[in-house]
Amino acid sequence: MDYSSWMRDLAEEIGPRPIYDISLVGSHNSASFSIDIKFGIGEFSPVPAFLGFFFARWSKCHSHDLYEQLKRGVRYIDLRVCRSHIDSELRTEHTVYGEKLEPLLNQIKRFLDEHPKELIILYAHKFRSGFDSLEDHTAFLTLLKAAFPDHNTIFASQSEFDLPFSELKKRGRKVMLLYGNEEVVRNQQSGMNLLSPDESQFDAWYNQTSVKGLEAAINKGKPFIDPSRRKITVCQSVLSPKPLLTVIGGVFSILRFLLCNMISFNFYPQNLQMMARGANAYARKLITTKNDRVNVLLLDDVANYEMLIGNVINRNKPPLPYHEVDEKI
């Protein structure tokens, strides 16, 4: 299926609704596809540099770049921002550093230029290294302006947050930029439309290591669409690896390499994409059996799960009969 223009295709169904009443697919730590040990390990990392080989595989949540994720239907980008203490470049990170931010932002711009009827949520946050003052944010904001020279037109303002999708598109809006520093948002000196995560988003990180624990946490937290909340509601269907799991998984990966792949060791997770199988299978069951609707379903390795993406998008259509999902993804 082609989900590159699904918002355009469902304009009649989603047009009257604000963004927090539309079901979207999001990618967790979206730019981590670019994580590479060659860029180094962040100074904020609890992992010693000499163990980087073992842990780098647990930092990569996706195998497709941002452009491809968006083409496959993702409409919520979770962008971690930092300045490398090694080369002072603005980069993404997930314990290990990833690609520079400029080419990452250009991928988003390319998609929006090709698909002007779509709208994405860009959540820029973390700022775990090299962002100690308002001045430190200036370089990143300048980079955003350069990547999106038409930002005054395409970025929605806080005052437009409650507008229906159709009105946002009528005004030429393509991006809702959630900026993860409230001081910068309140300062209003950036010359850009920045949305406050505190005012605009409900986002809970459950930090679960098993599907059973994740299911219990989501059932308790109920991160589902609630128009009265008037906030983007993020349902994080992702798992966290246990520290011992990362070491054992690394050992199995080494054995697999030494044995020339004669034994796969696929019975034991060796990276985040393997862990995503269980979380995404649960997410699909959640989407197809619950009467509650998700707003943003945040996933790992999302671009490899076309059927799950379709399940989320289809929740924006008139209600269909629900059914249990037994087949594996």
321 part of a folded domain? no
Tokens of residue 290, six digits: 């619950």
The pLDDT value recorded for residue 269 is 47
Q: From the CB of residue 56, how many other CB atoms can be counted at a distance below 10 Å? A: 21
Task: Give the pLDDT score at 319.
Answer: 73
Domain count, the chain: 1
d(C-alpha 205, C-alpha 200), whole Å: 16
Domain containing 64: what range? 6-314
Contact 24, 295 (CB under 8 A): yes
User: Per DSSP, what are the bridge partners of residue 175?
Assistant: 120, 155
Residue 155 belongs to some domain of the structure: yes
Per-residue H/E/C for 279-320 = HHHHHHHHHHHCCCCCCEEEECCHHHCHHHHHHHHHCCCCCC
Residues of the chain with pLDDT under 50: 244, 247-249, 252, 255, 257-258, 263-269, 321-329
Task: Check which CATH number belongs to the domain holding 125 and give it.
Answer: 3.20.20.190
Under 8 Å between Cβ of 163 and 119: no
Contact 119, 173 (CB under 8 A): yes
Joined together, the tokens standing for residue 85 give 């203490």
pTM: 0.90
**What is the pLDDT at residue 260?**
56
Please classify residue 212 by burial: count the beta carbons closer than 10 Å to its beta carbon, then call 0-12 exposed, 13-18 middle and 19+ buried: exposed
Q: Is residue 200 part of a domain?
A: yes
Structural domain contains residue 323: no
In a domain, 320, yes or no: no
In a domain? residue 99: yes
pLDDT at 322: 45
pLDDT at 67: 98
pLDDT, residue 321, reads 46
Q: What is the pLDDT of residue 196?
A: 97
